[in-house]
Amino acid sequence: MKRNFAALLALALFRLPLAGQEIESNNFFQPYASATLETWSLLDGGVGSGNRSMGLIDLGADFELSEQTKGHFNFFAFGGDRDVDGFTGDFGVFSNIITDSKVILFTAWLEHSFDDMHIRFGQLASDESFYVSESGALFINANFGAIPTVSANVSAPIFSVGSAGIEWLQELNTGYWKTAVYAGDPGPGNESDHGLNWKMGGEAGYFFIAERGWNYHATREQNSVFKIGAYYHSGIFESFSQDSNVKGNHAFYAIVDHSIGDSISVFSRIGFNPKSDRSAVTRYFDLGVNLNGFVESRPDDTLGIAYSRTSFSSDDAIRPAEEVFEITYASQLAAIWSIQPSIQWILNARETSKDALVAGIRLTTDF
């Protein structure tokens, strides 16, 4: 086990004697911290063999400057194994906490509300506001986070590297409108990047995105939403089909989160990028179901089963597509501890001729 992962583990375990205590805070400034620890075993296929261990600390605070103005900031500290290409060889990444960053400022923003309109500005991350599924957030494979038609094709601010930006949200009787613009290059996200190396304009360009959401079946038992969205990145991109660079890239997506009572939720996302000459991923699809209270004696636990398919550009294809099946079970162990095993079957892993079967377990604690 590497030294930095051991340090994260020790810090998380140090929280045990304090489990019954509350962090003192007030209504104006509320700090928080959480630690996520994981260990993984490659059961079959892939590139390497053996086990991998890692950990992530999220440290930040929420605060209020007035009744209409609030703010937030947080830092990430990551330790452990990052060598995805030498383990499973998958394109989508089996764990959504893996990052090349070591210690980095992720987000820092202010938000002002005008009745049913909200404006947020500062250092932001697009995958905290756009193209996400609340039900899909249960799953550990990174495909179910930032949609690959964004994360694989453009330099957008997503975990774990934010960038300067501004977001606008308009609440409607039927749902919402939201739009945003961010710096086109959030930075390298490597160990020496501490979060403020973003660039905008020129070759870096800007990242524009808009999303419309419709709420339906909004009752006490269920709250369902349908979303459509599109983005445009104005930066310069390398063309797979010609020697010269090209300007601009764009894509479209649709998402549905559907609740069936208070015990079942299903979700699906579709992404399409028509610019195959400059996009590694041209199409994406996922589908999943969450079952709450699957074990009758554990009503707060959730069983999740999901599938994703990432289709690659024919101009940059090693394999036509990579598919992932994930089964996971999230369970609350105590007031501040939760455990979540996951098993993933990765078909046509991009960096190897073998499929990969990997199993892991995630332990999370809140400070």
In this predicted structure, what is the pLDDT of residue 35? 97
Domains of the chain (ranges; CATH) run 30-366 (2.40.160.10)
CA–chain centroid gap for 10, Å, is: 26
Residue range 279-293: mean pLDDT, rounded: 95
Query: What pLDDT score was predicted for residue 354?
Result: 81
* pLDDT number for residue 2: 43
In this predicted structure, which of 24-38, 88-102, 271-285 has the lowest mean pLDDT? 24-38
pLDDT score for 21: 44
Tens digit of pLDDT for each residue in 124-183? 999 999 999 999 999 999 999 999 999 999 999 999 999 999 999 999 999 999 999 999
Q: Which residue has the tokens 């699809």?
A: 285
pTM value is: 0.89
* Residue 235 tokens, joined: 């930066």
pLDDT value at position 293? Answer: 86
DSSP state of 313: P
Q: Which residues contact residue 22 at a Cβ distance below 8 angstroms, ignoring those fewer than 6 apart?
A: none
Q: Does the pLDDT value for residue 344 go beyond 90? A: yes
- Specify the pLDDT at position 110: 98
Contact 340, 362 (CB under 8 A): yes
Q: Tell me the C-alpha to C-alpha distance, in Å, between residue 147 and each of 27, 126, 243, 252, 309.
A: 35, 11, 28, 11, 11
Do 329 and 339 contact (CB within 8 A), yes or no? Answer: no
* 363 burial type by CB count under 10 A (0-12 exposed, 13-18 middle, 19+ buried): middle
The Cα 213–Cα 257 span in angstroms is 11
Whole-angstrom CA distances from 257 to 218, 226, 246 are 12, 6, 36
Q: Tokens 């579709």 label which residue?
A: 270
Q: 189 near 101, Cβ under 8 Å?
A: yes
pLDDT in tens, 10-60: 444 444 444 444 444 456 899 999 999 999 999 999 888 889 999 999 999
Minimum mean pLDDT among 23-32, 76-85, 87-96, 321-330: which range? 23-32
**Which helix (DSSP H) or strand (DSSP E) does residue 308 occupy?**
strand 302-312
Q: What is the pLDDT of residues 217-254, one digit of tens each?
A: 766 556 899 999 999 999 999 988 877 899 999 999 99
Q: Which of 70-74, 136-140, 197-201, 363-367 has the lowest mean pLDDT?
A: 363-367
